[in-house]
Homo-oligomer: A and B are copies of this chain.
Amino acid sequence: MPKLKEECGVFGIFDHAEASNLTYLGLHALQHRGQESAGIVTSDGVNLHKHRAMGLVSDIFSEDVLAGLPGRSAIGHVRYSTTGSSQTKNMQPIVINYFRGALSIAHNGNLTNAKTLRDELEGEGAIFQSTTDTEVIVHLIAKSKEEKLVQRVIEALSRCKGAYSLMFLTPEMMIAARDPYGFRPLVMGKLGDSPVFASETCAFDLIEAEFVREIEPGEIVIVDEKGVESFKPFGEQKHSYCVFEYIYFARPDSFLTGRNVYQVRKSLGKQLAQEHPAEADIVVAVPDSGVPSAMGFAEETGLPLELGLLRSHYMGRTFIEPQQSIRNFGVKLKLNAIREVLDGKRVVIVDDSIVRGTTSRKIVKMIRAAGAKEIHMRISSPPTKFSCYYGIDTPIKEELIANSLDTDEIRKYITSDSLGYLSMEGVMKAVNSSKNVNGKEHFCNACFTGKYPVELTDQKAKINQLKLFGE
């Protein structure tokens, strides 16, 4: 089983006349969480109906397709994965028909003991259809001897470690579940009397649903015709909200744990300006994700914000590179530097993070080629040194430039005149600038610090195995 990293978004709506239409709109609003495939499963009270395909939500779901998804309840999923080929078999929501009827599941997150559980299940004769860790949960539910679905779900989740924000759908019932650490977001709202669930509040805005509250870490919420019921079977844990959702992943208009994401990002930029000011003429953002922090940086420093990099919004899946190689081709398709803005200027470039460093290097070179006199790169997060195992698609740590180079070596590699990363303390100041938390909230910052809140079972097993074989 190849290591599978995924980014995803989930949505659910219970007992509404237009369940499939609204789920499709909800997924459209969550499209930024996964652009590779999407799917919707509906319940008409007796059967489940599904449609899943590779591609964008708006390409997959036509009026005809939605008309073929009848019923008053629905869950949906958008997904991005880094495994090479288009993996249609890994599309979600998963739907199975087992002894006790039909069951569908949509998952955002990554289990850290998926491989270990899978080996055990397969040893007992279980046949897997996909390579997703989500299917492990399905098999655990199918094997449970408990009578009630919620008990089977609890039994199954009690064996799973890691990150999960889950939506389940059966013909009669919907279940939302979030792991005890709360790595990935999951919010609850209502549209009229219908309960709705989503990874982010921006999905509620589009369908005009009202935000009610976050699903709490470790909470399992069951919705059926009798109403909404909440369980907390796993006891208390120190929360580990993912800080990277605020830095990069979530949509700027979303509201997570009481914070507006755009405002957090602007604060990150202001904090960054305080920690790493620059003698410069203009501030330029790397669009789109660097824009809010560049606005904060410009506001804090008083330097003018200029559109020095233009982003193309007509990106397709792949582009054919001519044989006469084009300098910085991959970046150039997406970004163009405006010479008239940059020529002769000392430029501050603001971006949210540096992963492998190759894109930053191309951007710096492109800006230099457009005439910039000095280039000061500013990053609104600490150096990304460690891989995420909880649902953000970062490469293995060997590919992370900050894992092997220090800041000045990175600066040399990307060829900028200076480079400043925001400190971990600075991040937390910005995150908490708009909310008085009294130290009650905790965040996972493993990608910056290497402190993993939940044991990496599969990863360890692999390391041990490698040791055994002397590798």
Q: Which residues of B contact A253 (CB under 8 A)?
A: 310, 336-338
Number of copies of chain A assembled together: 4
Q: Which residues of B contact A165 (CB under 8 A)?
A: none
Q: Which residues of B contact A263 (CB under 8 A)?
A: 340-341
Report Cα–Cα, A292/B61, bound state, in Å.
34
Report Cα–Cα, A324/B191, bound state, in Å.
11
By size class, the interface of chain A is 35 or more
Pick the interface stretch among A205-213, A237-245, A422-430, A440-448. Answer: A205-213
Check if B28 sits within 8 Å of A307, measured CB to CB: no
Report Cα–Cα, A332/B31, bound state, in Å.
15
Q: Is A316 an interface residue (CB 8 A)?
A: yes
Report Cα–Cα, A231/B29, bound state, in Å.
53
B-contact 0/1 string along A245-261, CB 8 Å cutoff: 00000011101000010
Say whether chain A's binding surface is mostly helix, strand, loop, or mixed.
mixed
Q: Is A467 an interface residue (CB 8 A)?
A: no
Check if A306 sits within 8 Å of B295, measured CB to CB: yes
Contact of A18 (CB < 8 Å), options: B124, B314, B322, B333: B322
Known interface pairs A58-B319, A322-B25, A338-B253. Does A31 touch B314 (Cβ–Cβ under 8 Å)? yes
Q: Is A436 an interface residue (CB 8 A)?
A: no
Pick the interface stretch among A95-103, A380-388, A395-403, A458-466. Answer: A95-103
Q: Which residues of B contact A59 (CB under 8 A)?
A: 316
Specify which of A58, A61, A251 lies most central, judged by the most chain B CB atoms within 10 Å of its CB: A58
Contact of A322 (CB < 8 Å), options: B21, B126, B292: B21
Check if B320 sits within 8 Å of A307, measured CB to CB: no
Pick the interface stretch among A106-114, A136-144, A272-280. Answer: A136-144
Check if B58 sits within 8 Å of A307, measured CB to CB: no
Q: Which residues of B contact A62 (CB under 8 A)?
A: 320
Q: Which residues of B contact A305 (CB under 8 A)?
A: 295, 305
Q: Which residues of B contact A251 (CB under 8 A)?
A: 310
Q: Which residue on chain B has the smallest CB distance to residue A67? A: B320
Check if B310 sits within 8 Å of A24, measured CB to CB: no
Q: Can you list 6 A-B pairs with a CB-CB distance of less than 8 A?
A: A24-B320, A57-B316, A58-B315, A97-B128, A99-B125, A260-B338
**4 cross-chain pairs, A with B, having the tightest CB-CB distances, nearest first:** A58-B316, A125-B143, A260-B340, A99-B122
